[in-house]
Chain A
Amino acid sequence: MPSPDESPTKGPFRKFEMPAEKKPSRETFDAEAKPELVETVPHTRRFNLTAGRTTLIADGVFRWAMLACALSIIAIVILILTELFSKSKLSIAKFGFSFFLGKVWDPVAGDFGAFPFLYGTIVSSLLALVIAVPLSLGVAVFVTEMCPRWLRTPISFLVELLAAIPSVIYGLWAVFVLAPLLRDYVQPFLKKALGWTGFFEGPAYGVGMLAAGIILAIMIVPIIASITREVLVSVPQHQREAVLALGATKWEMVRMAVLRNARAGILGAVILGLGRAIGETMAVTMVIGNRAEVAKSLFAPGYTMASVIANEFSEATDDLYLSALVEIGLVLMLVTLVINVCARLLVWSITRGTPARVHAN
């Protein structure tokens, strides 16, 4: 026990220090040091102003426990990555980079090429973006800039409700409502009008790349729209006022002041939507047709990376087959990781109060 003379700064606390020979508990010590306080407030809890040993230990334990929780997030991500790497080693070693170029997926012969799945994922996601981006921008602009104030909350709420519907229910609806609708009305029309482009030809099954793209579009609209809305709201009001003061119409104001200032954030929102579309499994699996082929026509059935895993993982019998599927999962994870990083950076750069750049034009 240090003597009081050693640390003069501890002077005011000296009277709380315990005699070395007897170490009473906190309560008795308190009672001895300030008996009058105990008497005046007999029923309140007594606190020792210097942190007691138990408090210090409890705080330490608390901090370490919370740190452990936070570290578990990092541990989980690392664990997922290492596990995917180790389980796909076989396929990586056997096929190398040609895995992504091979067009043959033949589990029986042990020949695995993932190109049809890459193609299906890219085409269905891009198709979804082509449909979803204008719609989401329209909704976001409508809600933030154009619609009457009383309509804002209900529309935003309903759009966010779209995000709450489980993927499997989207799939169910797509199988029984969307696909027949496409088969009977939309596809014959597209074939007649745009069949010459080559994108809309062949038999109209209903299910296929087009159906997958549309259902994906419906699913990613809420993400893109809600982030875009946040970005648009964060555009400073004086930018709008300045453009309006110059005599711009409402649309010109939106185009010049709002959309231009928010473009980085909007791009981020679109990329986040793309990330969701790439990883989306159930709804796509239910309507894309699940055939590993590369076709130009959007009417033809396809296959995506996520849906091949969903369909074949539990029936993959030999190690190479399993490993090839895990490698597809690994690629899926890495791609979405990169996409998310890019998108977060873009969205952060806008919503984190960086001053909006004024564009001379």
Chain B
Amino acid sequence: MQTKHLSLRRRLTNYVMTGSAGLAAALVLAPLIAIFSYLVYKGIGAINWAFLTQLPKPVGEIGGGMGNGIVGSAVILFIGSLIGVPLGVGSGIYLSEIGRNKFSQVIRFTADVLNGVPSIVMGIAVYALVVLRQGHFSALSGGVALGIMMVPTIARTTEEMLLMVPHSVREAAMGLGVSQWRTTMSITLPSAASGVITGIMLAFARVAGETAPLLFTAFGNQYWNRNPDQPTAALPLQIYTYAISPFDDWHRQAWAGALVLIVLIVAAVTLVRVAASRGRMASA
């Protein structure tokens, strides 16, 4: 090749820079591998049936588990999805199907702003908005915080996915005299369903591990709680409390909790995607 005509300096710089880019890639991936392998190594030994089903034991007693945290997280995330998914998908539909004008630019921008709000600030805001008015911490307020955090992501992905549906499909429906809401709900949205669901799951996975907004909303609880209007345990909160505690057994459980959290997030995402693709095949 023509490489031999190049000066040594230029050739060396080329090699050095290529090498450092590769090194950067390796350095970035190293923590990922370290975190995952540590998580599995430390967590897998601590997970057992008791951990998944029992309540936390009082300080000093060995054993116990995070059963209430797992259930509490599920409840909070369910409430969050009830709020976040309709608002997000609705906003996405508005942005893509109805309001294609200057005003939707404002909404798009506000969604980006909302997406950038630090999660801890969301915690304070929901504390002021919901907890102070209710007078006590609750799973409901935690769900509100997480739901709000889901909205911008879902709105933007829904919009993008709906925009990818060819315009001729809408025109065909309109040409048959189908009303706009029927066109959107039964034709455009189902065509974009897999993308929309991916967006929802991304938002879900993002908020599922959130701890900061739950600190002063769901607050945590040492016991089982069936009332969403009461303080509720959440898995990330328990991991946090256990990780900064001085007890070895709690550290062990924090690792186990972290592993369970990751596995549950991945499982939930995969499950919904599989179910969604099944449903699509059945209807097709």
In A19-51, the 8 Å CB interface with B consists of: 47-49, 51
In the complex the two chains form, is A225's CB within 8 Å of B177's CB?
no
Q: Number of B interface residues, CB 8 Å?
A: 92
Stretch at the interface among B62-70, B94-102, B272-280: B94-102
- The docked-state distance in angstroms from the alpha carbon of A314 to that of B42 is 31
Nearest residue, chain A, Cβ from B2 = A247
In B172-222, the 8 Å CB interface with A consists of: 176-181, 184, 205-206, 208-212, 215-216, 219
A17 interface residue, CB < 8 Å from B? no
Nearest residue, chain B, Cβ from A311 = B215
In the complex the two chains form, is B176's CB within 8 Å of A139's CB?
no
| Given A47-B178, A69-B86, A249-B10, CB of A74 within 8 Å of CB of B209 | no
Q: Residues of A contacting B178 with CB < 8 Å? A: 47
In the complex the two chains form, is B21's CB within 8 Å of A142's CB?
yes
Q: Residues of A contacting B76 with CB < 8 Å? A: none
Q: Which of B38, B117, B244 is packed against the most chain A CB atoms within 10 Å?
A: B117
In the complex the two chains form, is A159's CB within 8 Å of B94's CB?
no
- The docked-state distance in angstroms from the alpha carbon of A218 to that of B99 is 39
| Given A68-B90, A142-B24, CB of A340 within 8 Å of CB of B116 | yes
In the complex the two chains form, is A168's CB within 8 Å of B262's CB?
no
A323 CB to nearest B CB, Å: 11
B22 interface residue, CB < 8 Å from A? yes
B281 interface residue, CB < 8 Å from A? no
Q: Residues of A contacting B129 with CB < 8 Å? A: 79, 83
In the complex the two chains form, is A147's CB within 8 Å of B31's CB?
no
Q: Residues of A contacting B112 with CB < 8 Å? A: 340, 344
B121 interface residue, CB < 8 Å from A? yes
In the complex the two chains form, is A172's CB within 8 Å of B255's CB?
yes
B38 CB to nearest A CB, Å: 6
Q: Residues of A contacting B98 with CB < 8 Å? A: 63, 66-67
| Given A172-B243, A279-B120, A310-B212, CB of A48 within 8 Å of CB of B21 | no
In the complex the two chains form, is B13's CB within 8 Å of A165's CB?
no
Q: Residues of A contacting B75 with CB < 8 Å? A: none
In the complex the two chains form, is A70's CB within 8 Å of B99's CB?
yes
Stretch at the interface among A97-105, A106-114, A293-301, A328-336: A328-336
Q: Residues of A contacting B42 with CB < 8 Å? A: 176
B45 CB to nearest A CB, Å: 14
In the complex the two chains form, is B25's CB within 8 Å of A143's CB?
yes
| Given A73-B107, A281-B120, A310-B120, CB of A66 within 8 Å of CB of B94 | yes
A232 CB to nearest B CB, Å: 12
B227 interface residue, CB < 8 Å from A? no
B40 CB to nearest A CB, Å: 12
B91 interface residue, CB < 8 Å from A? yes
A contact face: mostly helix, strand, loop, or mixed: helix
In the complex the two chains form, is B128's CB within 8 Å of A84's CB?
yes
B158 CB to nearest A CB, Å: 10
B254 CB to nearest A CB, Å: 6
In A128-160, the 8 Å CB interface with B consists of: 134-139, 141-143, 145-147, 155, 158-159
A221 interface residue, CB < 8 Å from B? yes
The total of interchain contacts (Cβ-Cβ below 8 angstroms) comes to 267
B55 interface residue, CB < 8 Å from A? no
- Give a binary string over A45-75; 1 marks a CB under 8 Å from any B CB, 0 the rest: 0011101000100110111011111111110
- The docked-state distance in angstroms from the alpha carbon of A340 to that of B87 is 22
Q: Residues of B contacting A18 with CB < 8 Å? A: none
- Give a binary string over A150-192; 1 marks a CB under 8 Å from any B CB, 0 the rest: 0000010011011011111111110111000000000000000
In the complex the two chains form, is B116's CB within 8 Å of A337's CB?
yes
| Given A72-B91, A172-B255, A175-B244, CB of A313 within 8 Å of CB of B216 | yes
In B69-124, the 8 Å CB interface with A consists of: 86-91, 93-95, 97-99, 104, 106-107, 109-124
| Given A139-B24, A167-B210, CB of A306 within 8 Å of CB of B116 | no
- The docked-state distance in angstroms from the alpha carbon of A137 to that of B20 is 10
- Give a binary string over A85-122; 1 marks a CB under 8 Å from any B CB, 0 the rest: 00100000000000000000000000000000000000
- The docked-state distance in angstroms from the alpha carbon of A71 to that of B114 is 13
In the complex the two chains form, is A336's CB within 8 Å of B240's CB?
no
- The docked-state distance in angstroms from the alpha carbon of A279 to that of B22 is 30
In the complex the two chains form, is B18's CB within 8 Å of A146's CB?
yes
Nearest residue, chain A, Cβ from B86 = A69
B6 interface residue, CB < 8 Å from A? yes
List A residues at the B interface (Cβ < 8 Å): 47-49, 51, 55, 58-59, 61-63, 65-74, 76-77, 79-80, 83-84, 87, 134-139, 141-143, 145-147, 155, 158-159, 161-162, 164-173, 175-177, 218, 221, 225, 247, 249-252, 254, 275, 278-282, 286, 306, 309-310, 313-314, 325-326, 329, 332-333, 336-337, 339-341, 344
* Supplied contacts A138-B21, A139-B24, A337-B116, 11 more A-B pairs, CB within 8 Å: A58-B179, A66-B93, A69-B90, A87-B128, A146-B21, A164-B265, A251-B14, A279-B121, A286-B240, A286-B244, A341-B113
Which A-B residue pairs are the 7 nearest by beta carbons? A166-B209, A138-B24, A279-B118, A69-B90, A62-B181, A340-B116, A142-B21
What would 27 A/B residue contacts be, using CB atoms closer than 8 Å? A47-B176, A59-B179, A66-B90, A69-B87, A70-B91, A74-B110, A76-B151, A136-B24, A138-B20, A138-B23, A138-B28, A146-B21, A146-B22, A155-B29, A161-B32, A164-B265, A172-B255, A172-B258, A177-B38, A218-B31, A279-B117, A282-B240, A286-B243, A309-B121, A309-B123, A333-B118, A344-B109
